[in-house]
A = this chain, B = another copy of it.
Amino acid sequence: MQQTKTLKELAEYLAGTVLGDETCRVSGLAPLESAGPDKVTFLANPKYASKVEGTRAGAVLMAPGSENYGRNVIEVADPYLAFAKLLTLFYVQSHHPRGVMPEACIGNAVAFGEDISIYPGAVVGDNVTLGDRCVIHAGAVIYAGVTIGADTIIHANAVVREGCRIGNRCVIQPGAVIGSDGFGYAPDGSRYYPIPQVGIVVLEDDVEVGANSCIDRAALEVTLIKRGTKLDNLVQIAHNCQIGEDCMIVSQVGISGSTKIGNHVTLAGQVGVAGHLSIGDNVIVGAQSGVPGSLAANAGYSGTPAIPHKDWLKSMAVVANLPNLRKTISALEKRVAGLEVLLQEK
């Protein structure tokens, strides 16, 4: 039973302006191509502006001044953000607290916040602290001594190992592992001696960790992910790393041990970063790049080894053309040899 809202109500919620029929009622959101008359859609990328003409949507979220082809429009400064906020309004229900369900396993001396939910098959170790309204889904395992903040969601089969601390409003997707042992071994002649990893992982508030991502505990102190940073699926964060605030770490990125990353950094998919580096604020690293050294702030980088993005684009253009370049060089060699013969003859 989806609720319905008028465009007027939505515009008020979004601090936007209706152009067209503000009494029109809608019940949810859909893409430009498939939205019906009971749905709101949005135009964020001007590339798709012509699709507005063909949409059957009840209304379109748009930036002021866009061509509206006679559709109902809610003008907002940032249509993509407005779309996200309406998704929350229409689809996100506050979680009804379930309490500790019968098949959950709870250790000794667990401190429970209010209105928590612990699903069947979840295992919570001794001396764990759980904040208000936190949700531990089925099969998740929380080792002893962990602290989890308020409104945090731990999805099914995620694992948080001993002593780690997770902030408020964090989301841990299924299968993610927080606090696995760092990869540290001391060569002992021919074999490897495992170095005990006695530190922890700390996730500050509003951190999100993707499915099956791994964050290793520090050797001695803390592997730290700061407020607001989001990790996609299958990401690897090695021991002793520090990741700044509001970073976007895209799927399958790997960051080696003890590297320190600034605020608002974006690492695109499959990027690899070596250990003991420093990456400045606002850096953007292109997909699949390999970063062997520290990177200065406020710039984009690409390639393996990563270089400034513009230089990389130029190099890549030449790489694709290398066989021709080699032919040019061979032809030049012949012409120069011909000139040399000619000159000797003269």
Q: A177 and B181 in contact (CB under 8 A), knowing A29-B220, A87-B198, A336-B335?
A: no
B220 near A30 with CB under 8 A, answer yes
B210 near A85 with CB under 8 A, answer no
Chain B residues within an 8 Å CB radius of A230: 183, 185, 192, 194
Of B190, B210, B315, which is within 8 A of A323 by CB?
Answer: B315
Chain B residues within an 8 Å CB radius of A88: 196
Of B155, B184, B214, B333, which is within 8 A of A332 by CB?
Answer: B333
The stretch from A15-23, A110-118, A337-345 touching chain B is A337-345
Kindly name the residue among A183, A248, A304 whose own CB sees the greatest number of chain B CB atoms within 10 A.
A183
Q: A269 and B254 in contact (CB under 8 A), knowing A91-B196, A123-B120, A186-B81?
A: yes
B254 near A252 with CB under 8 A, answer yes
B157 near A183 with CB under 8 A, answer no
Whole-angstrom distance between the alpha carbons of A320 and B306 in the complex?
10
Within 8 A of B (CB), among A17-38: 29-31, 34
Whole-angstrom distance between the alpha carbons of A340 and B186 in the complex?
61
Of B143, B307, B329, which is within 8 A of A156 by CB?
Answer: B143
The stretch from A6-14, A52-60, A66-74, A168-176 touching chain B is A168-176
Q: With an 8 A cutoff between CB atoms, is A84 at the interface?
A: yes
Q: With an 8 A cutoff between CB atoms, is A234 at the interface?
A: yes
Chain B residues within an 8 Å CB radius of A346: 343, 346
Of B221, B307, B342, which is within 8 A of A343 by CB?
Answer: B342
Q: How large is the interface on A (under 10, 10 to 19, 20 to 34, 35 or more residues)?
A: 35 or more
Chain B residues within an 8 Å CB radius of A256: 251, 269
CB distance from A334 to the nearest CB of B (A): 10
Q: Copies per complex?
A: 3
A272 near B269 with CB under 8 A, answer yes
- Considering the complex, give the chain B residue whose CB is closest to the CB of A233: B214
Whole-angstrom distance between the alpha carbons of A85 and B329 in the complex?
55
Whole-angstrom distance between the alpha carbons of A323 and B121 in the complex?
59
What 0/1 readout, one digit per residue, does chain A (181-210) give for beta carbons within 8 Å of chain B?
A: 101111110111111101000000010101
Chain B residues within an 8 Å CB radius of A1: none
A270 near B269 with CB under 8 A, answer no
Q: A34 and B221 in contact (CB under 8 A), knowing A183-B232, A319-B315?
A: yes
CB distance from A153 to the nearest CB of B (A): 10
Q: A333 and B340 in contact (CB under 8 A), knowing A141-B138, A287-B274?
A: no
Give me 19 A-to-B residue pairs in the complex whose CB atoms sit less than 8 angstroms apart, sorted by A's number.
Answer: A81-B187, A84-B186, A87-B196, A103-B105, A119-B123, A121-B141, A156-B161, A175-B177, A183-B232, A185-B230, A234-B236, A236-B252, A236-B269, A252-B254, A305-B316, A314-B323, A315-B322, A325-B325, A329-B332
Instruction: Pick the 8 closest A-B CB pairs, nearest first.
Output: A180-B211, A105-B120, A141-B156, A123-B138, A318-B322, A159-B174, A177-B211, A214-B233
